[in-house]
Amino acid sequence: MAFKGDKFQDRAATAAEARKKLAERFKQAPKPDDPRVLALAAERKAIAEARELRQAERAKQKLLEEARKAEEARLRAIEEARAAEEARLAAIQERAKQLQAAAEAKAARDARYAARKAKKK
C-alpha cells in the first residue's frame, strides 16, 4: 500500500472540528455568577485573609523578638559597664594600697635612718 497523506480539505475539516469543540468547551464553562465559581472565589478570599493574618502574626512576633533582643543587649551593656566600673574601682583601690604600702615602707626606712642617726649622737 502506498502512503496517502491527508489532503488540504481533510486538514481544514479537522481544524474546523477542533475549533468547534473548543468553542463548545468555552460555552460550557461556568459563568462568573455560578455558585461553584462563587464558592471558589470565597474560598480563595478566605485563604488570602488567613495568609495575611499569619503574615501579620509573624511580623508581630518578629517585632517582639527584636524588642526582646534589644532589651537583652541593653541589659548586657549595662552589666558590662557595671563590670568595667567595678574593675576600675578595684584598680584604683589596688593602686591606693600600693601607694600606702610604699609610704609605710618609706616611713619605716626613715625611722630606721633616724634611729641610726640618733644612735651615733
The owner of cell 526582646 is 68
Neighbours of 72 (CB within 10 A): 10
pLDDT score at 5: 66
105 located within any domain:
no
Q: pTM of the predicted model, to two decimals?
A: 0.49
Q: Which domain holds residue 39?
A: 23-93
In a domain, 98, yes or no: no
Question: Is 36 inside a domain boundary?
Answer: yes
The predicted pLDDT at position 3 comes to 55
73: in domain: yes
Report yes or no on 6 lying in a domain: no
Residue 45 lies in a domain: yes
| Residue 8 belongs to some domain of the structure | no
Rounded Cα distance, 58 and 22, in Å: 46
pLDDT tens per residue across span 12-65: 888 999 999 999 888 887 787 888 889 999 999 999 999 999 999 999 999 999
Confidence of residue 8 (pLDDT cuts 50, 70, 90): confident
Cβ pair 30, 37 in contact under 8 A: yes
Question: 460550557: which residue's cell?
Answer: 28
- pLDDT the model gives residue 4: 65
Task: Look at the block and give the residue holding cell 630606721.
Answer: 112
Whether 63 maps to a domain, the answer reads yes
Into how many domains does the chain fold? 1
pLDDT tens digit string along 67-107?
Answer: 999 999 999 999 999 999 999 999 999 999 999 999 999 99
